[in-house]
Amino acid sequence: MTQPGNDTPSMLLVDDDDTFREVLARAMTKRGFAVTTANSVETALPLARANPPEYAVIDLKMNGASGLVLVQTLHELDPATRIVILTGYASIATAVEAIKLGATQYLSKPANADEIVAAFGHNATTDVPLEAQPASIGRLEWEHIQRVLRENDDNITVTARVLNMHRRTLQRKLAKRPNN
């Protein structure tokens, strides 16, 4: 929250990439936000509980807990918090999960400060675009693998066993990003 007498909106920025986090924090400060940073969900949780932010930018995949844990906690602390999830591992299933947990928008990396600020203005319940074409089988398979991987705490060996797939085959599939 903003401090009494201070109109600067507060922002919590959580990303384990030190360089990206520092550059984005400077850019957001220039855009009028009072930015607090953290490099993991575990270090961000006490900051969020002590002073729930009005805005949050959270990386999805970091060392330790998933950014989705922080999304859920921030939403429970203050449902009005505008939350943007950033990730280099975009999938429709994860985007839907983030929105269900309280995120405002979901952006693929690299996203710049202007895209993030614009994403804060989106309304997650009404701005859900429908695909003109259904997803390809490759895309559906990739999203299913991502969901099962997330359910198994990103453990590739366990995920391969659950999918009845050889571990190296799974690793090859994870390295490929579907076109559609």
- As a whole number of Å, the end-to-end CA separation of the chain is 40
CATH architecture, domain defined by 10-120: 3-Layer(aba) Sandwich (3.40)
CA distances from 111 to 17, 18, 45, 51, 52 (A): 14, 15, 24, 26, 24
Provide the pLDDT confidence category of residue 176 given band limits of 50, 70 and 90: confident
| pTM exceeds 0.85 for this model | no
- Enumerate the domain spans of the chain: 10-120, 137-175
Residue among 34, 177, 26, 29 at smallest CA distance from 109? 177
Residues 6+ apart with CB under 8 A from 17: 59
**What's the one-letter identity of residue 24?**
L
Q: Where are the alpha helices (DSSP H) in 124-166?
A: 137-151, 156-162
Quick check: 63 and 40 in contact, CB under 8 A?
A: yes
With a CB cutoff of 8 Å and minimum separation 6, the contacts of 154 are 61
| Cis status of the peptide bond prior to 110, with omega within 30 of 0 | yes
What mean pLDDT do residues 68-91 have?
Answer: 87
pLDDT of residue 122: 65
Higher-pLDDT residue of 56, 64: 56
Write down the architecture of domain 137-175 according to CATH. Orthogonal Bundle (1.10)
Phi and psi at 137, nearest 5°, equal -65, -40
The 10 Å CB-count burial string (b at 16+, else e) for 10-46 is bbbbbbbeeebbeebbebbeeeebbbbbbbbbeebbe
Starting at the edge strand that comes first in sequence, how are the strands of the sheet with 82-87 ordered? 34-38, 10-14, 55-59, 82-87, 105-108
Residue given tokens 């959580």 in the structure block: 14
pLDDT of residue 99: 82
The confidence score (pLDDT) of residue 4 equals 44
